[in-house]
């Protein structure tokens, strides 16, 4: 009988310990981001480009999380795929979505006017912002953010297409580059990372 | 009379046998799940995606398409370049080969039918009539559903 009681104390004690350990690990383990984490000491380079409602600077959005995407409106496959995932992320974020600003920078200033980029991105989500600039301005911003793009003439009706880095750059509330999402990151994963950044 | 009936039945059996014995030769193209993403009017180009299955015994190839909804149609593919940048190009050789017994997926971030100079609004629910041109199977008319991508 006494032996039996010892057995049950040990048994329940072990269970409690394991449970506590699991809880603590789950509670205190570092969050694992889906995107690639960047630790930079320098704030994200500021820029001013033209939107449909006048000039817009990155620094205008300090206090919000900014998602930068470089694309172009003639792009029928890659850009809408990414913008659809960003739209999905906004849906998942719900009320927190107003703490996130998506900005698409056109890498095709020849064809994309500020109005055209704006109409394009708004189709995906009403608060998305589209900006463009002179070819020199675009080149400068793209270089600062490590974005490659290249105009390539192709045979056929398209005239030319743009090859471009299709990643999404996340600038945190304090204006530092925090994350990079590769092409094809699901909207749910993007939302989870942004939710963590909003809450911490 | 009975003899005639017997003869008739025998002939029917022969025809049936012949039909069974000779396997259908050539390609047999089946198109499934043709869809396109909704896009704003300012987006001059759109993309169509679908599954193309060749249930036949011979390779075939998609060589082009036509639609009143598009000014021009080209076969394109998105691909990842060195360093992770995405590029888009007309498919090599101007055609998408559908090998016998295989399935080829036209999907987001890969092969797609590019609709240049959209003539209509690509709103969800719109049905776009499209005629696919195959090297051997000839023209196959299909309907493309404009809808949001499913996850």
Query: Could you tell me if A24 and A117 lie in one domain?
Result: no
Q: Between chain A and chain B, how many beta carbons pairs sit less than 8 Å apart?
A: 98
Question: What is the CATH number that goes with domain B29-146?
Answer: 2.60.40.1890
Regarding whether A129 and A82 lie in a shared domain, the answer is yes
The answer to whether residues A26 and A97 belong to one domain is: no
Q: Are residues A122 and A70 in the same domain?
A: yes
A141 shares a domain with A57:
yes
Structural domain harbouring A5: 1-30
Q: ipTM for the complex?
A: 0.72
pLDDT of residue A30: 82
Please name the residue of chain A whose CA is at the shortest distance from the CA of residue B87. A163
Q: Are residues A47 and A16 in the same domain?
A: no
d(CA B106, CA A90): 27
pLDDT at B1 over 60: no
The residue of A72, A77, A80, A146 whose CB has the most chain B CBs within 10 angstroms, and thus the best one to mutate to test that interface, is A77
Strands B138-146 and B29-36: parallel
Average pLDDT rounded to a whole number, residues B105-131: 93
pLDDT for B42: 84
Please state the rounded mean pLDDT for residues B13-25.
56
Does A31 have pLDDT greater than 70?
yes
For residues A2 and A79, membership in a common domain is answered with no
In the predicted model, is pLDDT for residue A154 greater than 90? no
Q: What is the mean pLDDT of residues B37-45?
A: 86
Write out the two tokens for B2: 């009975």
Mean pLDDT rounded to a whole number for chain A: 92
Q: Tens digits of per-residue pLDDT, A100-147? A: 999 999 999 999 999 999 999 999 999 999 999 999 999 999 999 999
Residue A198: pLDDT band by 50, 70, 90 thresholds?
A: very high
- CB-nearest to B114 from A76, A120, A165 is A76
Tokens of B111: 């092969």
Give percent of chain B above pLDDT 90.
61
**How many Å apart are CA B124 and CA B115, to the nearest integer?**
16
A169 contacts B93 by C-beta, under 8 angstroms: no
- Residue B149 has what pLDDT? 84
Average pLDDT of span A69-94: 93
Q: Among A98-102, B122-126, B140-144, which is the least confidently predicted range?
A: B122-126
Beta-carbon contacts of residue B54 (< 8 Å; ≥ 6 apart): B27, B28, B29, B30, B60, B98, B99, B100, B101, B102, B103
Using the beta-carbon criterion (under 8 Å), do A84 and B37 form an inter-chain contact? yes
Q: What is the pLDDT of residue B9?
A: 60
Decide if A88 and B85 are in contact by the 8 Å CB cutoff.
no
Q: Could you tell me the residue ranges of all domains in chain B?
A: 29-146
How far apart CA A58 and CA A71 sit, in angstroms, is: 17
pLDDT at position A24: 86
CATH of the domain at A79: 3.40.30.10
Per the structure, the count of domains in chain A is: 2
**Which of B42, B65, B87 best probes binding to A when mutated, by most A CB atoms within 10 angstroms?**
B42
Residue A157's pLDDT is 72
A3 and A73 in a single domain? The answer is no
Does residue B17 surpass a pLDDT of 80?
no
């Amino acid at each position: 009988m006494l032996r039996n009681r010892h057995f049950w104390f040990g048994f329940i004690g072990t269970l409690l310990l394991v449970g506590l350990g699991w809880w603590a690990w789950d509670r205190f383990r570092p969050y694992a981001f889906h995107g690639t984490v960047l630790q930079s000491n320098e704030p994200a380079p500021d820029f001013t480009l033209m939107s449909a409602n006048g000039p817009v600077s990155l620094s205008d959005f300090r206090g919000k999380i900014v998602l930068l995407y470089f694309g172009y409106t003639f792009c029928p496959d890659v850009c809408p795929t990414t913008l659809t995932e960003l739209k999905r992320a906004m849906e998942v974020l719900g009320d927190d979505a107003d703490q996130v600003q998506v900005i698409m920078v056109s890498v095709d200033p020849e064809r994309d006017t500020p109005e055209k980029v704006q109409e394009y991105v708004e189709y995906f989500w009403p608060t998305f912002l589209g900006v463009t600039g002179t070819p020199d301005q675009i080149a400068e911003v793209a270089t600062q953010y490590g974005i490659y793009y290249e105009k390539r003439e192709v045979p056929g009706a398209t005239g030319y297409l743009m090859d471009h880095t299709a990643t999404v750059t996340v600038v945190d509330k304090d204006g530092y580059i925090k994350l990079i999402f590769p092409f094809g990151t699901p909207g749910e994963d993007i939302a989870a990372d942004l939710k963590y950044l909003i809450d911490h | 009379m009975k003899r005639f009936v017997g003869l008739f039945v025998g002939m029917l059996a022969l025809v049936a046998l012949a039909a069974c014995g000779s396997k259908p030769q050539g390609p047999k193209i089946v198109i499934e799940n043709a869809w396109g993403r909704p896009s704003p009017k300012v987006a001059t180009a759109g993309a169509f995606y679908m599954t193309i299955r060749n249930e036949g015994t011979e390779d075939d190839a998609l060589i082009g398409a036509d639609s009143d909804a598009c000014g021009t149609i080209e076969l394109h593919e998105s691909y990842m370049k060195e360093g992770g940048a995405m590029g888009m190009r007309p498919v090599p050789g101007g055609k998408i080969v559908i090998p016998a017994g295989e399935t080829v997926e036209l999907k987001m971030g890969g092969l797609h039918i590019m609709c240049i100079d959209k003539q209509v609004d690509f709103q969800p629910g719109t049905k776009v009539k499209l005629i696919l041109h195959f090297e051997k199977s000839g023209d196959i008319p299909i309907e493309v559903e404009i809808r949001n991508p499913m996850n």
